[in-house]
Structure 1
Amino acid sequence: MKNLKLRVSLLFLLWSALGPVPAFAASYVGTVLDADTRKPIENAFVTLGFTVARTDPDGKFTIDGNGEQLGIRAYGHARREVPLNNLDHGITLSPFIPKAIYLSFYGIGDKALRESALGVIQRTEVNALVIDLKGDRGGVSFKSATPLATQIGARKITTIKDIQALVSELHAKGIYTIGRIVVFKDDPLATARPDLALRTADGAVWKDREGLSWPDPFNKMVWRYNIDLAEEAARAGFDEIQFDYVRLPDSKEPVYPAPNTEKNRVETISGFLAEARKRLVPYNVFLAADIFGYVAWNTDDTHIGQKLQNLAEVLDYLSFMLYPSGFKFGIPGYLDPVQHPREIVLLSLEKAQQRSKLPAIRFRPWLQAFRDYAFDRRLFQTPQIRAQIEAANYFGSDGWMLWNPHNLYGDGLQNKPTHGPNVFTP
């Protein structure tokens, strides 16, 4: 009996020292197909926990890990989750092309603006909604559990009472959801935490042309805060996370903790996006970022850390802001951009594709649906808006997004189709 007790004690001590044996990681195989054509989808993403696999030219994949379901997504298709016991007959993804309008921090909470936007979606080709989750002034629109959001006063105003219920409601209406998070333009964070703020050469907190402070893009705490918010949005069910102001300020005044070189700027912006992509893997969400229009043309980083080739490596969708009013120097052959909205959009997309070698489906541009502010103050109405939409359609981008700061839409939109890649099935 004493020998038995001794053996049990020794086994217990050995187990304690080595720790529990890790769970066996199972291996899963399957095929991803286009739901309409039944053809294989190459390079689709297959996720299981933090593990990512890509499909081969025959749509086949092998992935190891533990969990209850796979996340599947592919460019130009709606994402889906599939139980691990349902992989035998091919996994189909439905083609889907988002055509979006934007609701601001206050727009999503304003009943009249929200219902007007939903009415536009019900009547027209629009099938997606970009929603501010952290707006241009740094306010967080939903009841975030991220402590820093409350500590810095970013949660003073709630315009989304229940983020999960909102996503569920929009999905029930067949609406693709894009959560917009303004990253490095964040006055509440820089004001409440001056230790995180950008500063001038004389040590003062730097402010932009609007009188707003920015946090330091090199600071990893700033990264974590924004990615924590993105992770909350992904858990709530958003189909896509879109980062805006994911750049350095377009000013020479701020002083950074590292030399202000192109290498350091690009590594900072691409590094943030790479970390966000890594953190978001378990949620099977698409990742996008809003990009200066001239980045499509410039071979450097436009002095803000946005370099086309580097962005292409860490994003699913590149959302160039192709507002004609934003091209103050024009583009080759077109020095008056507001007179040529179609050419600005089409030629910029073609230049970005030529330089990056990406397929057209990796781009989804922002289009101008607001009055010109840089040239002759003309209104952008049906002719100008439709010209931009047709340019994006001709190019073959993954849809488009209309920006109007007042959240008023309707001009330039066609009637809602009843079938095809414009219909979103969550």
Structure 2
Amino acid sequence: MKNIKSLVSLPLLLWVVLNPVSAIAAVYAGTVLDAKTRKPLENAFVTLGTTVVRTDFKGKFIINGSGDKLGIRAYGHTRVDAPLSRDSAPIILAPFIPKAIYLSFYGIGDKSLRHAALDVIQRTEVNALVIDLKGDRGGVSFKSSIPLATQIGAQKITTIKDVSGLVTELHAKGLYVIGRIVVFKDNPLASAHPELALKTKGGVTWKDREGLSWPDPFSTTVWNYNIDLAVEAARAGFDEIQFDYVRFPDSPEPVYSKPNTEENRVGAISGFLGEARKRLIPYNVFLAADIFGYVAWNTDDTHIGQKLQNLSEVLDYLCFMLYPSGFKFGIPGYLNPVQHPREIVLLSLEKAQQRSSLPAIRFRPWLQAFRDYAFDRRWFKNDQIRAQIEASDHFGSDGWMLWNPHNLYGDGLRSK
């Protein structure tokens, strides 16, 4: 695959005709076209500083703001930065569908695992990489300038020496790079600041099944810490910020700073994501979140604050975790999900689309590439993984992502 970085600078990636309407007022007009079809791209995002507008059905936009460049992106396409100029500058936005594998907090730092993943990418259809920037244990994998990250001990171990250099290296290989940030499951933050931690009814710090503490999802201090990390990642060049554990614990035990009602839970999760979206505007980066599989089916918030309609309003991509092992109650017509991986993925995506009226390109599912833990302990290998991929492809989603906690991949993937 060609170098994404170099493609962005060529006239073969996005046709944006930039015409300054008034240099003094910093107003710019332009047109955005698709590289493959040469047709206008409707609803593409155009950003200038903290201002963002969408293109009309003719692909046209007018934007008034301050900044030194325009950022342009669209669903199912790459993103580009275009210099401000009085001259017409034909640039194209190329279609791009990420097909990703995941490297964990330690996986990205382990030479053998990283090289093995890159070898899989070189040999197969994979063209994207999801990297832990803040992992399941709350550690921040790169050298952050945020004082709180150091103060709470989240920087005791860093597995990425030069995050900007890493992104540059991966872009040079033609990869779409996604930064995963685990949000409300954060033991270092909750332990270092018990005033932010969830409590039991007895007033002591609550811990989940893994013995880990969680900070309060209502806390704006917690919000800002995670958004600050996301901004650092965006500045480092990540194409997409993906929040995980952006939810309430799936337990009735914790006591929160506000009443534990559906309205409050949904407000907290949507509020956090909305604030993140606002803060990330200047960086022309895609925003995604990992979502419980049953959220595609449930009309309530699944008691964790994730409600389909609200999420669709603040995210670019909805990343349902459609692991068959996670559907412990099955879905209508399929009570043993691990026997029907294709149906679980396809029917869940179709249900989410039916309920949200979103185009298929707004979804990108996580697929199971690990051993079953809920039913018969079967291994998910070539046939099971391929069935999930083909279901996602048939649906027309914005690609897919494979999850393996051991960072081992290769089964079920097509060769280049």
**1:211: Cα distance to partner?**
0.4
5 Å-filtered alignment, 1:218-229, equals 218-229=218-229
Give the aligned partner of residue 12 of structure 1.
none
Name the CA distance, whole Å, in 2 between partners of 1:196 and 1:296.
Answer: 31
**1:46: Cα distance to partner?**
0.1
**1:67: Cα distance to partner?**
1.8
Give the aligned partner of residue 65 of structure 1.
65
Give the aligned partner of residue 18 of structure 1.
none
Name the CA distance, whole Å, in 2 between partners of 1:45 and 1:178.
Answer: 19
Contact 1:32 1:60 in 2 (8 A): yes
Give the aligned partner of residue 125 of structure 1.
125
Give the aligned partner of residue 318 of structure 1.
318
Give the aligned partner of residue 232 of structure 1.
232
Contact 1:103 1:114 in 2 (8 A): yes
Contact 1:342 1:391 in 2 (8 A): yes
Aligned-partner SS, 1:93: coil
Aligned-partner SS, 2:92: strand
Higher RCO by CA contacts (8 Å cutoff, separation 6 or greater):
1
Name the CA distance, whole Å, in 1 between partners of 2:237 and 2:413.
Answer: 27
Name the CA distance, whole Å, in 2 between partners of 1:151 and 1:165.
Answer: 25
Name the CA distance, whole Å, in 2 between partners of 1:392 and 1:163.
Answer: 31
* Aligned residue-pair number: 394
Give the aligned partner of residue 397 of structure 1.
397
Give the aligned partner of residue 184 of structure 2.
184
Name the CA distance, whole Å, in 2 between partners of 1:183 and 1:250.
Answer: 15
Give the aligned partner of residue 53 of structure 2.
53
**1:25: Cα distance to partner?**
3.3
Name the CA distance, whole Å, in 1 between partners of 2:26 and 2:49.
Answer: 12
Return the TM-score normalized by structure 1: 0.92
Aligned-partner SS, 2:96: coil
5 Å-filtered alignment, 1:145-164, equals 145-164=145-164
1:112-143 deviations in Å (ceiling 9; x for gaps) = 00000000000000000000000000000000
Aligned-partner SS, 1:304: coil
Give the aligned partner of residue 412 of structure 1.
412
Give the aligned partner of residue 81 of structure 2.
81
Aligned-partner SS, 2:233: helix
Give the aligned partner of residue 17 of structure 1.
none
Aligned AA for 1:331? I
- Calculate percent identity across the aligned residue pairs: 81
Contact 1:71 1:79 in 2 (8 A): yes
Aligned AA for 2:183? V
Contact 1:288 1:319 in 2 (8 A): yes
**1:24: Cα distance to partner?**
4.7
Name the CA distance, whole Å, in 1 between partners of 2:254 and 2:340.
Answer: 35
CA RMSD between the two structures: 0.9
**1:89: Cα distance to partner?**
4.9
Aligned-partner SS, 2:320: strand
**1:257: Cα distance to partner?**
1.3
Q: 1:206 to 1:174 in 2, by over 3 A?
A: same
1:260-280 deviations in Å (ceiling 9; x for gaps) = 111000000000000000000
Name the CA distance, whole Å, in 2 between partners of 1:399 and 1:236.
Answer: 24
Aligned AA for 2:296? A
**1:201: Cα distance to partner?**
1.1
* Larger deviation, residues 385-394 vs 250-259: 250-259
5 Å-filtered alignment, 1:23-42, equals 24-42=24-42
**1:91: Cα distance to partner?**
4.0
5 Å-filtered alignment, 1:188-337, equals 188-337=188-337
Q: 1:145 to 1:89 in 2, by over 3 A?
A: closer
1:291-339 deviations in Å (ceiling 9; x for gaps) = 0000000000000000000000000000000000000000000000000
Q: 1:188 to 1:386 in 2, by over 3 A?
A: same
Name the CA distance, whole Å, in 1 between partners of 2:283 and 2:237.
Answer: 8
Give the aligned partner of residue 13 of structure 2.
none
Name the CA distance, whole Å, in 2 between partners of 1:98 and 1:79.
Answer: 13
Aligned AA for 1:153? G
Contact 1:77 1:94 in 2 (8 A): yes
Name the CA distance, whole Å, in 2 between partners of 1:214 and 1:25.
Answer: 47
Give the aligned partner of residue 354 of structure 2.
354
Aligned AA for 1:181? I
1:367 aligns with 2:364: no
Name the CA distance, whole Å, in 1 between partners of 2:74 and 2:164.
Answer: 24
Q: 1:221 to 1:332 in 2, by over 3 A?
A: same
Contact 1:198 1:214 in 2 (8 A): yes
Contact 1:26 1:66 in 2 (8 A): yes
Aligned-partner SS, 1:29: strand
Name the CA distance, whole Å, in 2 between partners of 1:66 and 1:195.
Answer: 40
**1:256: Cα distance to partner?**
1.1
Name the CA distance, whole Å, in 2 between partners of 1:44 and 1:354.
Answer: 23
State which structure, 1 or 2, has the greater radius of gyration over its C-alpha atoms.
1
Aligned-partner SS, 1:117: helix
Contact 1:32 1:90 in 2 (8 A): no
Contact 1:101 1:129 in 2 (8 A): yes
* Larger deviation, residues 81-90 vs 264-273: 81-90
Name the CA distance, whole Å, in 2 between partners of 1:196 and 1:257.
Answer: 9
Q: 1:87 to 1:318 in 2, by over 3 A?
A: farther
Name the CA distance, whole Å, in 2 between partners of 1:321 and 1:37.
Answer: 32
Aligned AA for 1:352? A
Give the aligned partner of residue 343 of structure 1.
343
Give the aligned partner of residue 6 of structure 1.
none
Contact 1:385 1:412 in 2 (8 A): yes
Q: 1:66 to 1:343 in 2, by over 3 A?
A: same
**1:363: Cα distance to partner?**
0.1
Shift >4 Å, 4+ stretches: none
Contact 1:29 1:87 in 2 (8 A): no
**Unpaired segments of 5 or more residues in structure 1?**
1-22, 417-426
Name the CA distance, whole Å, in 1 between partners of 2:230 and 2:166.
Answer: 16
**Unpaired segments of 5 or more residues in structure 2?**
1-22
**1:87: Cα distance to partner?**
6.4
